[in-house]
C-alpha cells in the first residue's frame, strides 16, 4: 500500500510527534509500504510548529525506500504577488527528490491569483498539488471555496497541466448533491441521494484526483456504504488511499476498511490495487 497523506508534526500544546524509526514501525504495523510525507506549518494558519520541506527531505534521505517527499510553498512567499517566480525553489526541491507540492493550507480563496500562479508553476515542474479545502476565509486553515466548488473548477480550467489532489471536509462533503452551507465544513451523515458536484468535476477534469485520507475521506465512503462501494468502483482511476495520521496511537480505520471490502467482494481486486497503490505510482511517477 502507498499512503498519499502523512505528517510529522508537533501541535500547539506540545503533543509528541512521530519521527524516524517510530514512524516506520507505525507504517509496518499498518501494512503500508511507502508513504507521502508532507510538510506542515509552512502556512501560518496551521496550528502546528514548522516542519518544512527541508525537514521532509532530511527524513527522506534516511528512508529513501519508504518516504515519498513533497515540498510546500506558501503562495504569499517572496513578493506576495501573482507574478512571483517560484521556479528557483521548485527546481531545487525537485532536484532534491520531491514528487509533489502540498499539503497546501493557506487560507486564501482557491482561485486567488497568487494561488493560480503557484499552481501553474508547480505543473511546469511536474508537481501534483495536494490541497486542504476549507469552507471560508478566517477561522482555520485551508484553501477556501464556495458550495459547489466553483473556485476549484476555475483552477482546473486555468491550470490544465497541473494535477490537483483534493482533501478535507469542504471537498468530500460535495459527494452528495444535498450538501448545505451548515454541514459542508463537517462530516455530513445520511445517504447520498444523488451524486454531488465532486463527481461532476472528477468526470469532467482529468487533472482532479481525490485523497481519501482523514475523517473526511472515510466519512464520505461510509455515510452511505452501498453508495461508497459504487463510488470507489466508478472512480477507481481517480482516487488514492491515505490516512493523514501524525501520531503512532491514532486510530486508522482506512486500512482495515479497504482490506475488508476487497476480501468481501465489495470492490474488485483491480480497483483495490489502483486506489491503494497504482494510481499513486502513476500520478507521482514512481517506480512500481
Over 90: is that where the pLDDT of 127 sits?
yes
Average pLDDT in the 63-84 region?
97
How confident is residue 288, by pLDDT bands cut at 50, 70 and 90?
Answer: confident
Q: What is the DSSP letter of 39?
A: P
The pLDDT, as a whole number, for residue 246 is 63
Q: What is the DSSP letter of 35?
A: E
pTM of the predicted model as reported, rounded to 2 decimal places: 0.96
Instruction: Indicate the CATH number for domain 2-284.
Output: 3.20.20.140
Average pLDDT in the 223-227 region?
97
Average pLDDT, the chain: 94
For the chain, give every domain's residue range. Answer: 2-284
Average pLDDT in the 250-277 region?
94
Over 90: is that where the pLDDT of 139 sits?
yes
Give the percent of the chain with pLDDT over 90. 85
Residue 27, SS3 per DSSP = helix
How confident is residue 23, by pLDDT bands cut at 50, 70 and 90?
Answer: confident
The pLDDT, as a whole number, for residue 15 is 54
In the 3-class helix/strand/coil scheme, how is 140-183 assigned residue by residue? CCCEECCCCCHHHHHHHHHCCCCCEEEECHHHHHHHECCCCCCC
End-to-end CA distance of the chain: 11
Amino acid at each position: 500500500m502507498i499512503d498519499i497523506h502523512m505528517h510529522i508534526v508537533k501541535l500547539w500544546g506540545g503533543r509528541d510527534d512521530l519521527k524516524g524509526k517510530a514512524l516506520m514501525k507505525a507504517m509496518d504495523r499498518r501494512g503500508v509500504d511507502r508513504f507521502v510525507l508532507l510538510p506542515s506549518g509552512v502556512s501560518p494558519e496551521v496550528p502546528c510548529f514548522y516542519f518544512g520541506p527541508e525537514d521532509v527531505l532530511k527524513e527522506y534521505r534516511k528512508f529513501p525506500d519508504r518516504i515519498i517527499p513533497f515540498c510546500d510553498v506558501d503562495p504569499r512567499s517572496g513578493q506576495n504577488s501573482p507574478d512571483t517566480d517560484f521556479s528557483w525553489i521548485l527546481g531545487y526541491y525537485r532536484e532534491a527528490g520531491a514528487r509533489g507540492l502540498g499539503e497546501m493550507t493557506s487560507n486564501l480563496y482557491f482561485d486567488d491569483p497568487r494561488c493560480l500562479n503557484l499552481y501553474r508553476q508547480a505543473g511546469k515542474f511536474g508537481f501534483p498539488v495536494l490541497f486542504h479545502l476549507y469552507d471560508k476565509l478566517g477561522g482555520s486553515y485551508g484553501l477556501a471555496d464556495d458550495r459547489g466548488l466553483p473556485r476549484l473548477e476555475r483552477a482546473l480550467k486555468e491550470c490544465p497541466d497541473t494535477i490537483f489532489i483534493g482533501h478535507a471536509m469542504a471537498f468530500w462533503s460535495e459527494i452528495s448533491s444535498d450538501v448545505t452551507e451548515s454541514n459542508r465544513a463537517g462530516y455530513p451523515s445520511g445517504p447520498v441521494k444523488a451524486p454531488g458536484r465532486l463527481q461532476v468535476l472528477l468526470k469532467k477534469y482529468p487533472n482532479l484526483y481525490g485523497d481519501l485520507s482523514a475523517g473526511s475521506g472515510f466519512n464520505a465512503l461510509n455515510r452511505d456504504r452501498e453508495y461508497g462501494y459504487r463510488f470507489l468502483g466508478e472512480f477507481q482511476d481517480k482516487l488514492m488511499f491515505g490516512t493523514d495520521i501524525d501520531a503512532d496511537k491514532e486510530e486508522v480505520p482506512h486500512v482495515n476498511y479497504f482490506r475488508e471490502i476487497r476480501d468481501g467482494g465489495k470492490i474488485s481486486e483491480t480497483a483495490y490495487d489502483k486506489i491503494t497503490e497504482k494510481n499513486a505510482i502513476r500520478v507521482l511517477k514512481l517506480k512500481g
